[in-house]
Amino acid sequence: MAERERSHTRPLGGVFVAHSQVLSPADVQRALTRMSHEVVERNGGVEDVVLVGLQTGGVPLAARMSDMLGQIEGATLVVGCLDVAFYRDDIGLRPVLPEAVTTIPGDLTGKVVVLVDDVLFTGRTIRAALNALNDFGRARAVQLAVMIDRGHRELPIRPDYVGKNLPTRREEMVDVGDEGVWIGTLEHSR
Amino acid sequence: MSGPQHLLSIADLGPDGIAEVLRVAEAFAEVERRSMPKVPTLRGKVVATLFFEESTRTRLSFETAAKRLSADVLSLTVANSSVKKGESLRDTVETVEAMGIDALIIRHASSGAPHRVARWATRARVINAGDGWHEHPTQALLDCFTVRQVLAERKGAAPEELGIDCFEGLRVLIVGDIRHSRVARSEVLAYSALGARVTLAAPGSLLPPSLEGWPVEVAADFDTALAGADVVSLLRLQSERGSGSFVPSLREYTAGWGLTSRRVDLLGEDAIVTHPGPMVRGVEIASDVADLPRTVVTQQVTNGVAVRMAILFLLLGGEWSGEGWHG
């Protein structure tokens, strides 16, 4: 979401100006369907699978994946949401504030956690999320699902399930929302 | 939002600042509920508590908050320090700061002492943990946090969904030794900044000499004021500040201004009773009233840690642009 991308990737706010559409809302839906089937295939079902959406962009995607996995497997999935602000490595370097309260359903020991986020960029959010997950128990495995992998990794992190690989320039921005996926730039008003 | 560098007074925050503290504290309250309630957020930071006046809960609460944020904590007990050898406040502060301390949490019997310290400090953030009769800002913040939590629980909503709108028009009655109470001053500022209507109830001798500029009313009749209150904030008689000589006797004080078993029945069904502690049962609050579900003293203590984590995080992590830690 533009809002989140703004506050997490730039020290100062600005206005996201969309340039072109990368995925339509229907494309996003198809990608989520495929990714959900991949989660089932990889884990031989959804037993012990816990979806954890990252605040704020990953939370609605995790909820949608949970609905689909429910339809595919006929099971109700546990969904959590995680805010990684307290685990970030840039605290003190730029304003870092929690966006929402974390809700992790119970102990994760022995579970397969699928982290869900909208855009994978430097990998630092995921690094923080892995740290945070540790405090909720020892998951049997942690997997990563992202709608967009835009490259420019700064850490050795790779996704397990990808909606779309999207080559970008570093200064570009990717927005995932109800209107699908758009690529654009952040314009500073001043 | 760029917030203040130090937390000396509620006036440093304003409604937006208070809202920010309550919002961030909600995220820390979740951390407190975990089986492993510790986050690495302030790793490498050093927090010092300088208490020139005795305290149990405030010092413990700040130290717990700092430790749950992974900061290192030093505590200066005046009884064992060079202050006893005649060192001045300024020299003590400079010495402590020279050790590279990031935050000074200070309690002092003199009103304004933290303000002086903040002016001397070159890099450390200063947090007022109570100065004389002046202010105790973190106490007022945790009171607001607790009240919102109770209101949210009754609505079946999450506290953060209520924002600060739930304080608009809320009738808050502050009772007791207002003259000598730093909690009362901070509460008046906090509740009124959030849009609540604050009324004071106390014997004339325990009201401040002047209420000019205070956004408050004074209750004409205590029993009537109780019936109309949504929140009753009880204060302790500050015997160490000589309150004893302002009332004829403790028994008379209790008869006139204590929340007795009879008076508690005058309260509306949903009225909340807060107390900053330590409570003196049988004086400002009857023992059975202290144990009623509407008396939220224990929640206040629990929430104090989350609110102080939020303050430490906002002052030391949220905005500062120096060298951070690298995970």
Q: Clarify whether residues B295 and B147 are in a common domain.
A: yes
Q: Is the pLDDT of residue B327 over 50?
A: no
- Residue in the structure block whose two tokens are 């990684």: A84
Nearest CB to B30; choose among A89, A91, A101: A101
Closest residue of B to A83, CA-based?
B27
pLDDT for position B79 = 67
Q: Share the mean pLDDT of chain B.
A: 91
Q: Cβ(A133)–Cβ(A141) under 8 Å?
A: no
Three-class secondary structure of residue B194 per DSSP: coil
Q: Cβ(B294)–Cβ(B271) under 8 Å?
A: yes
- Check which CATH number belongs to the domain holding B15 and give it: 3.40.50.1370
Note the pLDDT tens digit of each residue in B248-272: 888 999 999 999 999 999 999 999 9
Q: CA-to-CA distance for B297 and B278, rounded, in angstroms?
A: 10
Q: Cβ(B111)–Cβ(B133) under 8 Å?
A: yes
Q: Clarify whether residues B156 and B294 are in a common domain.
A: yes
Note the pLDDT tens digit of each residue in A114-150: 999 999 999 999 999 999 999 999 999 999 999 999 9
Q: Cβ(B255)–Cβ(B216) under 8 Å?
A: no
pLDDT for position A11 = 41
pLDDT for position A124 = 94
**Chain B 13-72, residues with CB within 8 Å of chain A CB atoms:** 23-24, 26-27, 29-31, 34-36, 38-42, 69
Burial (0-12, 13-18, 19+ Cβ within 10 Å), B184: buried
| Beta-sheet pairing, A15-23 with A180-187 | antiparallel
pLDDT for position A16 = 85
Phi-psi sector, B248: left (phi>0), alpha (psi -120 to 50), beta: alpha
Nearest CB to B26; choose among A90, A96, A101: A101
| Beta-sheet pairing, A161-165 with A141-149 | parallel
Q: Is residue B323 part of a domain?
A: no
Structure confidence at residue B244 as a pLDDT band (50, 70, 90): confident
Q: Clarify whether residues B20 and B59 are in a common domain.
A: yes
pLDDT for position B198 = 98
- Residue in the structure block whose two tokens are 């028009």: B169
| A·B CB contacts under 8 A | 68
Q: Cβ(B231)–Cβ(B147) under 8 Å?
A: yes
Phi-psi sector, B308: left (phi>0), alpha (psi -120 to 50), beta: alpha
pLDDT for position B2 = 61
- The domain in which residue B257 lies consists of 137-301
Total domains, chain B: 2
Query: Which whole number is the average pLDDT over B114-132?
Result: 94
**CB–CB of B327 and A101 under 8 A?**
no
Contacts with B24 from chain A: Cβ below 8 Å: 97-98
One-character DSSP codes across B220-253: S-HHHHHHT-SEEEE----GGGTGGGGSS-HHHH
Q: Clarify whether residues B253 and B207 are in a common domain.
A: yes
Three-class secondary structure of residue B214 per DSSP: coil
Q: Where are the domains of chain A?
A: 25-169
Residues of chain A falling short of pLDDT 70: 1-13, 93-95, 189-190
Q: Domain A25-169 falls in which CATH fold? A: Rossmann fold (3.40.50)
Q: Clarify whether residues B157 and B131 are in a common domain.
A: no
Contacts with B35 from chain A: Cβ below 8 Å: 107
Q: Clarify whether residues B71 and B197 are in a common domain.
A: no
Burial (0-12, 13-18, 19+ Cβ within 10 Å), A14: middle
Cα B142 to chain centroid, rounded: 6
Q: CA-to-CA distance for B199 and B174, rounded, in angstroms?
A: 6
- Looking at the complex, report in whole angstroms how far the Cα of residue A104 sits from the nearest Cα belonging to chain B: 9
Q: Clarify whether residues B116 and B185 are in a common domain.
A: no
Q: Cβ(B122)–Cβ(B97) under 8 Å?
A: yes
Q: CA-to-CA distance for B99 and B216, rounded, in angstroms?
A: 43
Q: Clarify whether residues B120 and B185 are in a common domain.
A: no
Contacts with B313 from chain A: Cβ below 8 Å: 86
Three-class secondary structure of residue B161 per DSSP: helix
Q: Clarify whether residues B170 and B292 are in a common domain.
A: yes
